[in-house]
Structure 1
Amino acid sequence: MMRQVPDFPEPGIQFKDLTPLLADAHGLAAVTDALAGCAAGADLVAGIDARGFLLGAAVALRLGTGVLAIRKGGKLPPPVHSQTYELEYGTATLEIPADGLDLHGRRVLIIDDVLATGGTAAAAVRLLDDAGATVTGAAVLLELSALNGRAALGSMAVTSLHRV
């Protein structure tokens, strides 16, 4: 239930569109259950902007935990905790609120839709660590194995439901 979109967002890229899977009630339930099985004692789920929000909220609901949205830079009012990281074509920033959110001692499972090069996931780990949380692992719906994103996450537990 994954759609391949050639040459998006740029020529040579084969975009993996997960929208059909997430729009199917049975597909969404199966993915939610499988990702929730990766929780390993987490008491908070963090979904990475933007499709990780959808999956993270569903998993948090299933686990009975809260959910934290890890946002792209500039989307939250100050003050924020931020982490800037390198992309193939420049830099990007991830942010979480710095006020009204105490992450010290929280055990967090990171959820995202796709693990590619691992740069975004590694930045999310650093962001949460810097805010005082303990990241218990990462779980993704799809892993693009050829891009070796796991290497960016070191020895952290990473679960992918599907690898291509």
Structure 2
Amino acid sequence: MRREKMNNKGFSLVELIIVIAIMAILSAALAPQLMKYIEKSRVSTDDSSCTSIETCVNAALAEEAVYKQLAEAGGAGNLVFNVDFSSADAMPSDGSNITMEVGTGAFDKLVTELASSLGSLKAPKQTGMKYYVIEVESALDSASGTTQLGKIKVYTKSTKQTATTF
């Protein structure tokens, strides 16, 4: 009787189970760290978007008609605008997701400028954030009786901003 030698090629079931268990332990240990880095990158992306929005608002305010319209709307209080992404992921071409929350008067010239400048703006990336809030400081100059627009703040928020925080 002749015995043929069997060449065992491959892994046994026990070896495979051990490797899978080690991979599961490693992934469970590394997942929270990975999620922190992902959220950190989302915050960084939103900060970059806020800077872009602020630049666009400054450029829009360089237009005399936009500045005049906002100065008339501002009076002695700050202006607050919400850029709403609660129902869409991208900026509509008409800027219909920009609303004035604090301040009165027309602001369509600003919306037109921002809609054309921010056409590719996407919704905030941070978990739970649905709004970009634009605050424009507004002060009434008692000597001249005119409104002066000042500092601009842009940030993300999970709900609409309805009060100023300057």
Q: TM-score range by the shorter chain?
A: under 0.3
For the pair shown, which has the larger CA radius of gyration, 1 or 2? 2
Structure number with greater CO (CA < 8 Å, separation at least 6) is: 2
TM-score normalised according to structure 2 size: 0.24
Larger helix share, 1 or 2: 2
